[in-house]
């Protein structure tokens, strides 16, 4: 950074510049040394597989979908004026009825809803 006073006041000329920091030597705790220290650390932010509880819920949802499909039904989700619209359809895509969100949650847990 530099600041030239002569550009502001032509009578007073001066030049202000910060002092440059001294060059760092090896082993003084700089960035390269920090990287070397972290080389032995292994961080696994993403697990190899989802937790058991999550897998149980995924499998329950899959069973509900398979059951609905076996009965010739599917749930279709679409956005309508900023809201989610849930439609119960046959396998050909014909809309049988619109489903309230609370009822869709019951269906997703495997409950039979008429």
pLDDT tens profile 47-65: 788 899 999 988 988 888 8
The residue that leads in pLDDT, 18 or 86, is 86
Q: pLDDT, tens digit, for every residue of 61-103? A: 888 889 889 999 888 889 989 888 989 899 999 999 998 888 8
**CA 81 to each of CA 47, 57, 78, 86, 98: distance values in angstroms, whole numbers, following the listed order:** 37, 30, 10, 13, 15
The more confidently predicted of residues 70 and 33 is 70
Tokens 């396998």 belong to: 91
Structural contact between residues 85 and 78, judged by C-beta atoms closer than 8 angstroms: yes
CA distance 11 to 36: 53
96 close to 88: Cβ distance less than 8 angstroms: yes
Which pLDDT score is estimated for 102?
A: 82
């Amino acid at each position: 950074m530099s600041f030239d006073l002569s550009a502001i006041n032509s009578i007073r000329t001066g030049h202000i510049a910060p002092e440059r920091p001294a060059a760092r030597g090896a082993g003084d705790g700089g960035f390269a040394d920090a990287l070397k220290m972290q080389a032995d650390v292994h961080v696994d932010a993403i697990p190899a597989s989802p937790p058991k509880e999550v897998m149980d819920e995924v499998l329950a949802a899959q069973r509900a979908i398979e059951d609905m499909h076996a009965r010739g039904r599917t749930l279709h989700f679409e956005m309508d004026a900023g809201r989610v619209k849930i439609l119960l359809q046959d396998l050909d895509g014909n809309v049988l009825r619109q489903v309230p969100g609370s009822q869709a949650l019951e269906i997703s847990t495997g409950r039979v809803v008429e």
